[in-house]
Amino acid sequence: MIPLLDEVDADVKAIGAANYLTIENGRLIGHNNDGKGVVKAIQKQRSLKGEHVVMLGAGGAGRAMAVEIAWAGAAQLTLVTRREAQGREVAERITAVSGVPATWQAWSSPVRVPQGTTLLMNATHLGCAPDLEPVPIDWSSVGPGCLAVDVITNPRITPFLQTAREHGCGVVDGVEMLVQLAMQLFTLWTGVVPEEAVFQRAVAAALGE
């Protein structure tokens, strides 16, 4: 899509992809807010400043989320992927655009989380319905103060998040990210700041909660 646009914003330049556009004076402007919803969702629980983040997966949306998390003040990011070239490329991009140290770690079964990790994020498809495949984490390596974040929206509480809760971790689910993302898009397209409670009720009704 990028070659067809007249202009792109700073997010697109940093991430290398656009996921929505606006029209300004007849010009097509590309934007990317894939990572902004997750940042807002996490910030409802705590600041990202100084966080030591481990992200499982670094695909298109994961790349955007990692960049936004770095911009929000994370101190360190570790990307755990099966494909080394992909993981190293994204890690290098994060450091280049944010100055935040980012490293690659090979995927293993189970994944052992580096000591000092304060935020553990699943940015893979694992845990999505109907398969509900568990994320292979060595939970003995995860500290009780760690915040677990999952991008999966169905189910809201994935096996990954359920296990995290059982180990004393706080959790942020993918539905909360979706709500925050939708609210941002609503404002960008209408100029109106919506009431979060309205979006939360709509999502809960759609999910039958």
Residue 58 structural domain? 36-175
- What is the per-residue pLDDT for 208? 80
42 and 68 assigned to the same domain: yes
3 and 75 assigned to the same domain: no
Q: What residues contact 6, with CB distance under 8 A and at least 6 apart?
A: 27, 28, 29
The residue whose two tokens read 């309205």 is 198
- Strand ranges (DSSP E) for 7-66? 7-8, 20-24, 27-31, 52-56
Domain presence at residue 182: no
- What is the per-residue pLDDT for 59? 86
62 and 159 assigned to the same domain: yes
Token duo for residue 110:
């189970």
- Across the beta sheet with 76-81, the strand order is 102-106, 76-81, 52-56, 119-122, 147-150, 170-172
128 and 70 assigned to the same domain: yes
- One-letter amino acid at 172 equals V
**Distance between start and end Cα atoms, the chain:** 37
- What is the per-residue pLDDT for 162? 97
43 and 17 assigned to the same domain: no
59 and 147 assigned to the same domain: yes
Counting as low any pLDDT under 70, the low residues of the chain are: none
Q: Structural domain tally of the chain?
A: 2
What global pTM score does this model have? Answer: 0.92
110 and 9 assigned to the same domain: no
Antiparallel, parallel or unpaired: β 20-24 and 27-31: antiparallel
40 and 121 assigned to the same domain: yes
Q: Taking the CA atoms of the chain, what radius of gyration do you get in angstroms?
A: 17
Contact 104, 88 (CB under 8 A): yes
- What is the per-residue pLDDT for 131? 92
Contact 142, 120 (CB under 8 A): yes
CATH number, domain containing residue 68: 3.40.50.720
Local structure of residue 184 (DSSP, 8 states): H
Sign of CA dihedral 33, 34, 37, 43: negative
106 and 12 assigned to the same domain: no
Sign of CA dihedral 108, 112, 113, 116: negative
| Angstrom distance (rounded) from CA 140 to CA 197 | 37
Token duo for residue 88:
């190293």
pLDDT digits (tens, 9 = 90+) for 108-139: 999 999 999 999 999 999 999 999 999 999 99
- What is the per-residue pLDDT for 7? 95
